[in-house]
Amino acid sequence: MARIIGLRGSAPRDPGATMIIFDDGEVTGNLTGGCVEADIVGHAEELFAERESGTRSATHRVLTYGVTDEWALGVGLLCGGTVEVLVELLDAQQVPHLVALIDEIEAGRTAHLVSAEDEGVLVHAVTDHEGILIAGPRIELPAGAIDDMMSADRGPAGVELSSLVVGDAVEGSLHGRVMLHRFGSRRSRAILAGANDYAAAVSSVALLIGFEPVICDHRPAFARPELFPDVEVRGGSAAEFIRGHARRDDIVIVLTHDAAIDVPVLMAALDADVAYIGALGSRRTHDDRCRRLIEAGVGRIPLDRIHSPIGLDIGARTPEQSAVSIMAEVLASSTGRSGVALTHTSGSIRPAACVRPRVATRD
């Protein structure tokens, strides 16, 4: 197993990104988009060979890849940073902690994989979201390490994985460092009001980029699961679903022009303080919608939270093109980015919160 455990500068993947190399040569995942993977596989093969020959001197290696001009152009590390990768040989004794981790993820719970070096050997433990030990030995972490991890500003992901490294980096070795990787299986929901072609397209893109789509429509003829086979479809009021189930990290998108639906849904979304609120429609439609919301008692300041006309200006016309535009705006909003073409911007091309792991030192 290979993991990014340190990053200075910028790279295609964040600390915590993982790649699995099997002893038959099969590889799952990537760390840099293909530029250092071949070298990492070579180190893994050496560890496999040492195990088979009985000459194994270590269970893991820490590799540091500096940025040459050629490599920088290949993976986008134009700021002149470095990537640190831990390559670890997984043996039978490490299976229980991985099984415990998988069990937590499959049960929909956030878990942490804590790794440390003990007399040259990597040891692992699995904790729950509060740091309570589930499997493995107790590995001491600095006070507040779990809270620091949980407060990191992260975007939506299918299996969210972020990383914290405790201690100072020493090239080629962990030297007392403790690694904390968070696996959070809970997805932010994309609650879509209205079951139609736009909902089908938006739900597909939302699912692809890590959201859990939920399509709500009170009309039985439209709220048919067979029309949207890969997502949850709920009959009944979208506004009631939002009031009863919406979380602050969810997003709400109104994909209907029905005046009887959009105002209650938008009011419920504003009350729930969800992460993003958007509504399909022209500027005239939105002006009329805002008038009706004001008549219903909504203040003018909350109305500024509603994105409408929804989406980025990319010339979208079809439902599928509109879905790309809409979800691109959702991502830009969640990361605080402008949505402007990168060729017309300067500075880092990645959100600042994802550039490097949070670092703490032991007491």
**In a shared domain, residues 53 and 98:** no
pLDDT at position 247 over 80: yes
Q: Higher model confidence: residue 253 or residue 124?
A: 253
pLDDT confidence band for 69 (50 / 70 / 90): very low
Residue 261 in 3-state DSSP?
Answer: helix
Taking each helix axis from N to C end, the angle separating 259-272 and 238-245, rounded to the nearest 10 degrees, works out to: 10
pLDDT tens readout for residues 94-111: 778 888 888 887 777 778
**In a shared domain, residues 50 and 82:** yes
User: Which pLDDT value is given to residue 182?
Assistant: 76
Q: Higher model confidence: residue 311 or residue 127?
A: 311
pLDDT tens readout for residues 209-221: 989 999 999 999 9
User: Which pLDDT value is given to residue 325?
Assistant: 97
pLDDT tens readout for residues 254-263: 998 887 889 9
pLDDT at position 168 over 60: no
This prediction's pTM: 0.65
Of 39, 58, 38, the closest CA to residue 48 belongs to 58
**In a shared domain, residues 206 and 67:** no
User: Which pLDDT value is given to residue 363?
Assistant: 35
Positive or negative CA dihedral for 32, 37, 43, 48? positive
Q: Is residue 362 part of a domain?
A: no
Q: Is residue 85 part of a domain?
A: yes
- Residues 269-298 as b or e (16 or more Cβ within 10 Å = b): bbebebbbbbbbbeeebbeebbeebeeeeb
Mean pLDDT of 242-247: 94
pLDDT confidence band for 78 (50 / 70 / 90): very low
Q: Is residue 354 part of a domain?
A: no
Instruction: Out of 32, 66, 90, pick the residue that ends a domain.
Output: 90
**In a shared domain, residues 257 and 282:** yes
One-letter amino acid at 161 equals: L
Residue 287 in 3-state DSSP?
Answer: helix
Instruction: Out of 57, 90, 123, pick the residue that ends a domain.
Output: 90
**In a shared domain, residues 137 and 155:** yes
**In a shared domain, residues 34 and 112:** no
User: Which pLDDT value is given to residue 143?
Assistant: 59
Q: Judging by DSSP bridges, how do beta strands 111-118 and 2-8 pair with one another?
A: unpaired
User: Which pLDDT value is given to residue 94?
Assistant: 73
Q: Is residue 358 part of a domain?
A: no
**In a shared domain, residues 304 and 193:** yes
User: Which pLDDT value is given to residue 270?
Assistant: 97
What is the share, in percent, of the chain residues with pLDDT greater than 90?
38
Q: What is the mean pLDDT of the chain?
A: 80
pLDDT confidence band for 145 (50 / 70 / 90): low
Q: Is residue 351 part of a domain?
A: no
pLDDT at position 72 over 80: no
pLDDT at position 80 over 60: no
pLDDT confidence band for 51 (50 / 70 / 90): confident
Instruction: Out of 152, 186, 220, pick the residue that ends a domain.
Output: 186
**In a shared domain, residues 69 and 99:** no
pLDDT at position 134 over 90: no
Query: How many domains is the chain partitioned into structurally?
Result: 3
Q: Higher model confidence: residue 71 or residue 217?
A: 217
Cis check: omega of the bond before 309, within 30 degrees of 0: yes
User: Which pLDDT value is given to residue 17?
Assistant: 82
Q: Is residue 166 part of a domain?
A: yes
User: Which pLDDT value is given to residue 259?
Assistant: 79
One-letter amino acid at 283 equals: R
- List strands edge to edge, sheet with 18-21: 27-28, 18-21, 2-8, 82-88, 60-65
Q: Is residue 14 part of a domain?
A: yes
pLDDT tens readout for residues 188-202: 899 999 999 999 999
**Residue showing tokens 């972490």:** 141
CATH code of the domain in which 227 resides = 3.40.50.720
Q: Is residue 343 part of a domain?
A: no
pLDDT at position 148 over 80: no
pLDDT tens readout for residues 329-362: 999 998 888 888 888 887 766 655 433 333 233 3
**In a shared domain, residues 235 and 324:** yes
**In a shared domain, residues 30 and 146:** no
Mean pLDDT of 222-249: 94
**In a shared domain, residues 277 and 292:** yes
Q: Rounded CA gap, 306 and 246, in Å?
A: 16
**In a shared domain, residues 79 and 119:** no
Kind plus residue range of the DSSP H or E element containing 245: helix 238-245
> In terms of residue numbers, what domain contains 148?
92-186
